[in-house]
Amino acid sequence: MPTIQHLLEKCKNMVSKPDSRRAYLLDVPQKYRGITGYFSNYIPEEIIAAAGLYPMRVIGFWDTSKSPQRSLFNPVCSFVRDVFLAASCGEFSFLRNIVFPNSCDSLRVLRQMWEYEIKKPKAYTLLHPINTDDSSVQYFTHQLKAFAEEMKKESGVYFTDAELKKTIDKYNQTRDLLRQLYDIRRTNTFLTGADAVALMTAGLILERDEYNSMLRQIIDEARQNSRDDKNLKRIMIMGPLTDNYALLDKIERFGAIIVDDDITNGSRYCSRDVEMTGDLYENIARRYLFADPSPTLNSSIKTDEQAFQRRINGLDLQGVIYINQKFCEPHVHNYLAKLEILKQSGINVLMLEIEHAGLDVSERDLLRIESFIEIAGRN
């Protein structure tokens, strides 16, 4: 059995090193009919996997050294610009297809540029709703069924509901295990926050059975080796896709521990399961529309505020670091919306705007982080 260090190293490499990731993906088991890339938490991996395709979330850090220097205009967020450059360099040529969400304007720009300029692999758009009422559930259910048909045609695997159920079960297991990990991290500092985020992010790439078994081993060891370092400042991170291990590691080296998050590749990814009885597609629609919402979703403002308030109340936080990608508009608005709640709760907030591809954190930001952590929790 691999050691925890070995597993975490694998996760970190998967997230931060394009070569390691590519090597792993090129070795994806032959039982799959190809790799389907996708963006956002609103693309159901369950359906892709049921069709015999290997779902791979597009995260950052690709090799753009062969860049043809084509780029998108500046107000488009840095993540999207990085992906466009990587796609222009052929970094996604090993994918069978790619699925776009109906999400923020930056991703819509990328979708259009994909159609015009990148062209391969073939792109789909899953037109999920931004509203969360009954008619949105009905509409999304219809879209999911159409999406399943597309994936079936793509792979030639015409899966049944019983087969879909098995796949849903696997993904429910992942979500359940990740939630257990969150519970542990609230009181147990066995895992650093940076390692935990690397572990969660790697799950967006790793083969599902391997990943679930990895999570079980880490959870077991964390429970058996519980630690509670009270000298560390308790920090929560918020933001969009946050896959910059180096940044999170640096935050914690200043004497902090990231005990929770509200990030795309974190708690929002694993909240709520898909129900297993009734219409499975409607259940998937409900799970995705009623899980902890992304700022691009029109969820109930009051319910969200109350849920967020309850969550931070139970964490004994000493500070929140909002890590936004430059020009990510939904998260600027989310930050502004949540700032008031955090201020009213007496929690200090640091906003960091980073270039997504920037593995190096600027000296200025490091100084800001250091002084923020130093004063965190003093008032």
| Residues within the interface to another protein (CB under 8 A) | 72-76, 102-106, 108-109, 112-113, 115-117, 125, 127-131, 133, 135-136, 138-139, 142-143, 146, 295-296, 298, 301, 305, 326-327, 329-330, 332-333, 336-337, 353
Shortest distance in whole angstroms from residue 107 CB to another protein? 9
Contacts of 364 (CB under 8 A, 6+ apart): none
For another protein, the closer CB: 76 or 196 = 76
Shortest distance in whole angstroms from residue 332 CB to another protein? 5
Shortest distance in whole angstroms from residue 145 CB to another protein? 10
Question: For residues 267-278, b (16+ Cβ closer than 10 Å) or e, as one string?
Answer: bbbbbbbbeeee
User: What burial class does residue 180 get, using C-beta atoms within 10 Å of its C-beta: 0-12 exposed, 13-18 middle, 19+ buried?
Assistant: middle
CA dist., res. 170 & res. 281, Å (int): 16
Shortest distance in whole angstroms from residue 87 CB to another protein? 15
Instruction: Assess contact for 31 and 53: CB atoms under 8 A.
Output: no
CA dist., res. 256 & res. 244, Å (int): 17
For another protein, the closer CB: 133 or 161 = 133
For another protein, the closer CB: 6 or 302 = 302
Shortest distance in whole angstroms from residue 345 CB to another protein? 16
Place of tokens 């792109």: 123
For another protein, the closer CB: 97 or 141 = 141
Q: What angle do CA 95, 101, 103 make, to 5 degrees?
A: 140
Residue ranges of the alpha helices (H) in the chain? 4-16, 18-26, 45-50, 78-88, 105-113, 134-155, 161-187, 193-202, 208-224, 245-253, 267-270, 280-290, 301-313, 329-344, 363-375
CA dist., res. 297 & res. 315, Å (int): 25
Shortest distance in whole angstroms from residue 321 CB to another protein? 16
Shortest distance in whole angstroms from residue 136 CB to another protein? 7
For another protein, the closer CB: 133 or 229 = 133
For another protein, the closer CB: 143 or 192 = 143
For another protein, the closer CB: 276 or 336 = 336
Instruction: Assess contact for 32 and 54: CB atoms under 8 A.
Output: yes
Tokens of 133: 């009422």
Shortest distance in whole angstroms from residue 247 CB to another protein? 18
For another protein, the closer CB: 135 or 379 = 135
